Amino acid sequence: MKLDVDVLRYLSKDDFRVLTAVELGMRNHEIVPTELIDRIARLKHGGTYKVLKNLLKNKLLHHDSSKYDGFRLTYLGYDFLAIKTMVNKGVFVAVGRQIGVGKESDIFEVAREDGTVLAMKLHRLGRVSFRAVKSKRDYLRHRSSYNWLYLSRLAALKEFAFMKALETHGFPVPNAVEHNRHCVVMSLVQGYPLVQVKQLQNPETVFETIIGLIVQLAERGLIHCDFNEFNIMIDDDEKITMIDFPQMVSVSHRNAQMYFDRDVECVFKFFRKRFNLSFEETLDDIDGSDEGRDEAGKPCFSAIERSAGFLDRELAASGFTRKDEEDIQRFIEGGAESDTNSDSEEVDLVEDLNEAGTVDGDSSDLLEQNEGYESQGKEESCEARESSGSEKQDASDNEENNEEAMENEAELVKSLNKQRRRAVAAARKGRKTVAARNSYKDKGGRSSHNSKIQKQLSSW
């Protein structure tokens, strides 16, 4: 739907009040009833219905009367609510031309009061080109029900958080200014998408910079998941800027290696086709070493060390679980140990701690288990015999408990049936039969006269 901000000039306070009322009603209604909108808006003299007609005319609302009479917000109405809030905050004062269209968002130019031009990104999940959001993105998490406006709001919130954190840690990303609902305002990148660039002065340097960004993100616990030529901006000085962050996941995600390898492959494939790079010679000239790379010169996910920070923990990225958080806490406190140590190293460590007098009960038990396996086998056989006898006794006890439970269940069913019969009888007590309810209709008619004659003949 085309964003026509000219309509925004002619909307009154009552119009925005009704739009906000519909937004509040959509928290627990897919289609908000008209009576509920009127109660929330509280306009005088029944003005809500007149305002609804005006908003429907401008396509800010959608009317649905299939089940009951109600309305829901359209993306255009949601855009106007977000833009109105941004203008009231003083983030920008004018909306310009559209500079980008994607499968999940639209991007517009906006201007501040001092003339500074910014970029406004409006998330629009639910388009025909990208509707597999529930399986491709993790916005819902544990939720089962959703609507597209709410998902767009979650995507904008997530992108703003990632952009702020990456900017703080020195990554080349746009400057995040403000966000509201499904709208994110950021600095305008002075450059072009890499997909539009046909020639570079130093393609080897640009290629190595982009691969280095993928590795640096992984070292801080994040994977972009959509790192390709469409989401990389480059300026005239061949300076790189990353964009589009809602789909980022943690390196602890179950598909993290697949996403990482896919990002690397996208970059390799593009530079091979567009600039005819020979990657082995390029990597040897620039890097001088093959550490952390496979035979084709691509970075290996398993060789990356997380030594630069835990951004996935700070941002609660997808795939970062509570177990990962506990491991990080132990690492920070200095008590975490790597799981790659051999069994012999663990035994030597426990012996050293035992000599120092700092071994706890669990460590001493480990030493005793390593010293004698034969005595442990004998004890286990004795315990097995004892457990077999106890299992028989438990089985008999369980049978008795099952019988008692069945008897209690039968009594419960009887009592419930009795209560149900009483309830049905009480409900039918004050009712009349169909014949009794219809008897009053026959007063003085031919049928009643014939019945009286039949009674007199029968008495004779």
**What is the per-residue pLDDT across 402-456, written as a single tens digit (0 to 9) for each?**
666 677 777 777 777 777 777 777 766 655 554 444 444 444 555 555 666 666 6
pLDDT tens for each residue of 212-228 = 999 999 998 899 988 99
Quote the pLDDT of residue 88. Answer: 94
Reported confidence tier of residue 39, pLDDT bands at 50, 70, 90: very high
Question: Crossing angle of helices 13-25/34-41, nearest 10°?
Answer: 120
Whether 323 has a pLDDT exceeding 70, the answer reads no
The span from the CA of 403 to the CA of 421, in Å, is 27
Which among 137, 108, 106 has a CA at the least distance from the CA of 123? 106
Who wins on pLDDT, 359 or 268? 268
Which of 265-269, 399-403, 415-419 is least confident?
399-403
Whether 129 has a pLDDT exceeding 70, the answer reads no
Active-site residue identified among 14, 64, 138, 226? 226
The span from the CA of 308 to the CA of 293, in Å, is 19
The span from the CA of 243 to the CA of 255, in Å, is 22
Where are any strands of DSSP class E within 225-310?
232-234, 240-242, 249-250
Is 226 one of the catalytic residues?
A: yes
The mean pLDDT value of the chain amounts to 76
pLDDT tens for each residue of 155-206 = 899 899 999 999 998 999 999 999 999 999 999 999 999 999 999 999 999 9
Who wins on pLDDT, 38 or 141? 38
The predicted model scores a pTM of 0.64
User: Which of 40-44, 79-83, 144-148 is most confident?
Assistant: 79-83
Which among 76, 72, 55, 74 has a CA at the least distance from the CA of 63? 72
Question: What mean pLDDT is predicted for residues 316-330?
Answer: 51
Coil, strand, or helix at residue 308?
coil
